[in-house]
Structure 1
């Protein structure tokens, strides 16, 4: 892997570990993350520190991949997908002081190999999207998705169970 550091009007890449043939389009903000071989990252995506994206993935435009998210190989992330990493988000502490990194705990999220996440889905923290699973567009995933399952809705419910492909 090579480390990318590029600051330009069209994108900001800081300490990004990138594999071979990684394609990162304009207006991407990525820092302290890793992106595997042959992965494509669309425009207007943010990938935060500690996030890991596997090989042969497609991350569509306007998506947000926060700290604590691990995306395995061959995953499709549709347009405007949002991941969450804090179970109890707050702007300030009880004393009124602004929260910093020491005031909360990252709750990790895992997207297993070959899963697909439809456009505008929201994936809450602490869940696993199983191998080969499909999350319908606009869904809100609040609990684990079994391997090969198709889920949709708010909250996302299982519509179909099958084997991972």
Structure 2
């Protein structure tokens, strides 16, 4: 559901199954996946990616090029600088030892939380399971 006061740039891709809070702005090329919940008064900069089922609190600011993958949640008032990546796979691989491709079911997202009012500097990579 998207409140009337919310701004979504025409080039942004926001799933109809995502929830966007009142007054939130989603800019150029951003993508918000199904099940994501974005709080009130947030800003998602150019080319941000918010994965499925991610929860973002109120008044958060995600600068350009931020990636928040499944399993991470942001509490209220979080600031993520440009290019921050919140990763979720502790052992990423494309193939199994026998050479067969990995499937979506071959791993479990490691959860992480960025706490109330926290700031993460530009270009930082937050590893899976870190709070």
Settle same-fold status: TM greater than 0.5: yes
Runs (4+) off by over 3 Å: none
Q: Deviations over 1:37-61 (max 9, x none)?
A: 0011000111110111100000100
User: Where does residue 30 of structure 1 map in the other structure?
Assistant: 32
TM-score by length of 2: 0.89
Q: Which has the higher relative contact order, 1 or 2, with Cα contacts under 8 A spaced 6 or more apart?
A: 2
Larger radius of gyration: 1
The Cα shift of 1:95 comes to 2.4
The Cα shift of 1:26 comes to 1.0
Flag structure 2 segments of 5+ consecutive residues without an equivalent. Answer: 4-8
**2: distance between equivalents of 1:13 and 1:116?**
25
Query: Contact 2:12–2:26 at 8 Å: present in 1 too?
Result: no
**1: distance between equivalents of 2:43 and 2:11?**
16
Number of residue pairs aligned between Structure 1 and Structure 2? 124
Residue 117 of structure 2 aligns to a residue in which SS? coil
**2: distance between equivalents of 1:20 and 1:29?**
18
TM-score by length of 1: 0.71
Flag structure 1 segments of 5+ consecutive residues without an equivalent. Answer: 129-165
Query: Contact 2:65–2:82 at 8 Å: present in 1 too?
Result: yes
The CA RMSD over aligned residues, in Å, is: 1.6
Against the structure 1 CA distance between its residues 43 and 121, is the aligned structure 2 distance closer, same or farther, given a 3 Å change threshold? same
- Residue 74 of structure 2 is aligned with which of 68, 71, 75? 71
